[in-house]
Amino acid sequence: MVKNYILDTNVIIHDPTCFYKFEDNNVIIPIVAIEELDNLKHREGMVGYHARLAARELNQLRRMGNLEKGVVLENGGTIRIELNHMDMSCIPEGIDIHRNDTRILAMTKNLQQEYAEIPTILVTKDVYMAIKADSFGIEAQDYINDKITTEQVYPGYRQIALPSDKINRIFKGGLPIAECAIEDTLYPNEFLHITSTSDDNHEVLARFDGSHVVPLKYLKHSAWGLTPINREQKMAFELLMDSSIPFVTITGGAGSGKTILATAVALEKVIEQGEFNKIVFVRPTIAAGNDIGYLPGTEEEKLRPWMGSFYDAIENLMNVRRASKEEAAKTGRYLPGKPDFTVDNFIETYRQKGIIETKTFTYMRGRTLSNAFVIVDEAQELTPHLAKLMLTRAGFGSKFIFIGDPTDNQIDNVLVDARSNGLVYTVEKMKPFNLSGHVSLKQVERSPLASLAERHM
């Protein structure tokens, strides 16, 4: 049965290509939403970019027909801009009729009454808008096209039990997946914690390489003086160190080690080994107050307040290396290392050499990042569209790392939530492919206090 879907402005900002994703139904855009998009087009950052992108999409549709009368889409649906049905008599007293949200609600209610035989649904990502719609007797839905449907995000690993002789074969070079008796789907680069069915002390951490279960290659390695501590960190470290896996996602709570692991491997691969030409550290600038464009100074000076996690990670790694050198001096074992700098001097030195870049998404459009180790921090703040934009920057020889905490209490972007943000969307979409790998970190290693706060607050 054909339905009328009325789009709130925030849905269009969330996904500027949403117009094509309602199958053979009627997509109706309130003229109020067009006005709001027009006002947002000069905004800095993601919101302004998405408003401009939506305008380009609507302009393409305008060339296909008259948007006031309706344009037929390839999927059999229609799209139109609604100019009428703005009678405010359906709005109860006490509600501000000059608010754009109220005008959209009134238009939706009037359409619902005029087309009683057709279900009329308001699509919004604003919780308060949905609550008000319910109180008006209007069906409201979240935009679910890019919302993951699973209750739990793919963790990237599982635990199984096998006989000891099969575990020995894994150590000797690999075990065919057919001999592991795993009933459900095992994804490429998924990890296995395998324990023996006969010996509690016999176990192995392994990875599925697409055909065989193989032991970890980097289990005894370190990067920039850092050694992974727990099981999940060892799995993440394996993905980060393996250059045959160009895309890695790591999720986890505060203090689980996401940023320091990624930064340590980046420094090792770029500065020590020269495997990549540069490190590009990217972070979305989602703020409770002004966007980045309101801050004074150069691009680097504007970004400095947002790059605290990167600076903290390098400072902690420098402390690790310093402690390692002191230990080496005591034992008489030489451990090479870079000179001791302050963090700002260290980053600025390598920035001037073109080895370290710190960027926000405002400066990423149109770029191709080749031979680069790219870390995208706080990726849970991205919309799926921006996550795709970032990954399509990948040139030859690059490795991209998305890290973040996709729980609702760590998301400041009102356009996404725990099941519709770009990080979890990317994890679910990319898990079937051998070019990607994912691990969810569980343990907090920052400090006992951080661990306590993460578990009980």
For residues 165 and 237, state if they share a domain.
Answer: no
% the chain with pLDDT above 70: 87
Supply the pLDDT for residue 107: 94
For residues 132 and 156, state if they share a domain.
Answer: no
CATH code of the domain covering residue 63 = 3.40.50.1010
Q: Is residue 377 part of a domain?
A: yes
**Range in 23-37, 87-101, 243-257, 303-317 with the lowest mean pLDDT:** 303-317
Supply the pLDDT for residue 151: 66
- Residues 249, 438 contacting (CB under 8 angstroms): yes
Residue 403 has pLDDT above 90, yes or no: yes
Q: Is residue 201 part of a domain?
A: yes
Q: Is residue 261 part of a domain?
A: yes
For 288, counting Cβ atoms within 10 Å of its Cβ (0-12 exposed, 13-18 middle, 19+ buried), the class is exposed
Residue 340 has pLDDT above 70, yes or no: no
What crossing angle do the helices spanning 258-267 and 308-331 adopt, rounded to 10°? 60
For residues 338 and 406, state if they share a domain.
Answer: yes
Cα(250)–Cα(259) distance, integer angstroms: 9
For residues 18 and 164, state if they share a domain.
Answer: no
| DSSP for 391-441, written as a single string | HTTB-TT-EEEEEE--SGGG---TT--TTTSHHHHHHHHHTTSTTEEEEEE
For residues 295 and 443, state if they share a domain.
Answer: yes
Domain of residue 60 covers 4-141
For residues 188 and 258, state if they share a domain.
Answer: no
CATH code of the domain covering residue 344 = 3.40.50.300
Higher pLDDT, 397 or 92: 397
Tokens 């989602």 correspond to what residue? 286
Q: Is residue 220 part of a domain?
A: no
For residues 69 and 88, state if they share a domain.
Answer: yes
Mean per-residue pLDDT over the chain, rounded: 87
The model's pLDDT over 48-77, given as tens digits with 9 standing for 90+, comes to 889 999 999 999 999 999 999 999 999 899
Supply the pLDDT for residue 376: 95
Region 247-258 average pLDDT: 93
Q: Is residue 40 part of a domain?
A: yes
| DSSP for 17-44, written as a single string | TGGG-STTSEEEEEHHHHHHHHHHTT-S
Residue 433 has pLDDT above 70, yes or no: yes
- Residues 160, 435 contacting (CB under 8 angstroms): no
Beta strand pairing call for 120-123 and 139-141:
parallel
For residues 134 and 153, state if they share a domain.
Answer: no
Q: Is residue 341 part of a domain?
A: yes
Higher pLDDT, 196 or 309: 196
Cα(264)–Cα(226) distance, integer angstroms: 7
Supply the pLDDT for residue 43: 85
For residues 89 and 161, state if they share a domain.
Answer: no
Q: Which of residues 141, 167, 199 is at a domain's end?
A: 141
The model's pLDDT over 164-191, given as tens digits with 9 standing for 90+, comes to 999 999 998 899 998 988 888 899 999 9
Beta strand pairing call for 78-82 and 71-72:
antiparallel
% the chain with pLDDT above 90: 61
Supply the pLDDT for residue 445: 73
Residue 330 has pLDDT above 70, yes or no: no
Q: Is residue 13 part of a domain?
A: yes
Supply the pLDDT for residue 327: 54
For residues 368 and 249, state if they share a domain.
Answer: yes
Supply the pLDDT for residue 309: 81
Q: What is the tally of structural domains in the chain?
A: 3
142: left (phi over 0), alpha (psi -120 to 50) or beta: beta
How many other C-beta atoms are found inside a 10 Å radius of the C-beta of residue 85? Answer: 18
Q: Is residue 257 part of a domain?
A: yes
Q: Which of residues 169, 189, 215 is at a domain's end?
A: 215
Region 413-430 average pLDDT: 89
Residue 5 has pLDDT above 50, yes or no: yes
Q: Which of residues 141, 166, 184 is at a domain's end?
A: 141
For residues 393 and 250, state if they share a domain.
Answer: yes
Supply the pLDDT for residue 453: 65
What crossing angle do the helices spanning 422-430 and 384-391 adopt, rounded to 10°? 60
Region 370-390 average pLDDT: 92
Cα(237)–Cα(445) distance, integer angstroms: 15
CATH code of the domain covering residue 180 = 2.30.130
For residues 330 and 431, state if they share a domain.
Answer: yes
Residue 152 has pLDDT above 90, yes or no: no
